[in-house]
Amino acid sequence: MFAWRSILFGIAMSIIDSIMMGLVKNINLKGFTSIWTMTLPMILYSLEPWIFLSAMKYESMAIMNIVWNLVSNILVTSLGIFYFGEKIGGIRLVGFILAIISLIMLGYD
């Protein structure tokens, strides 16, 4: 059976990661590196422990962390490629594809 609940919690935390990292990338590109410009990304990131705590009612800490990290890697990498125009290729692309395969494998109980 596929563990949709674990994947959905991972997606929720990873969406926060993607928004936060996208904001930080924009801040870096514009050269605004003050404490005030980093306030929103820091507040967003502070929500993740609450979601993680809720997720541990249904899944172990070890598996939930791996799922969260894999989904985050996939979403943030996709954001970098499709929104910011970053490039990955070669062995790094193979690693990205393996992350997707790993996530699918971890989704099964």
Q: How do residues 36-89 score in pLDDT, each as one tens digit?
A: 888 999 999 999 999 999 999 999 999 999 999 999 999 999 999 999 999 999
Residues 6+ positions from 98 with CB-CB distance below 8 Å: none
CA distance 13 to 73: 11
**Residue span of the structural domain in which 8 resides:** 4-106
- Domains in the chain, number: 1
Residue keyed to tokens 């996709």: 78
Among left, alpha and beta (phi > 0; psi -120 to 50; other), residue 85 is: left
The structure's pTM equals: 0.85
Alpha-carbon dihedral 96, 12, 54, 1, rounded to 10 degrees: -60
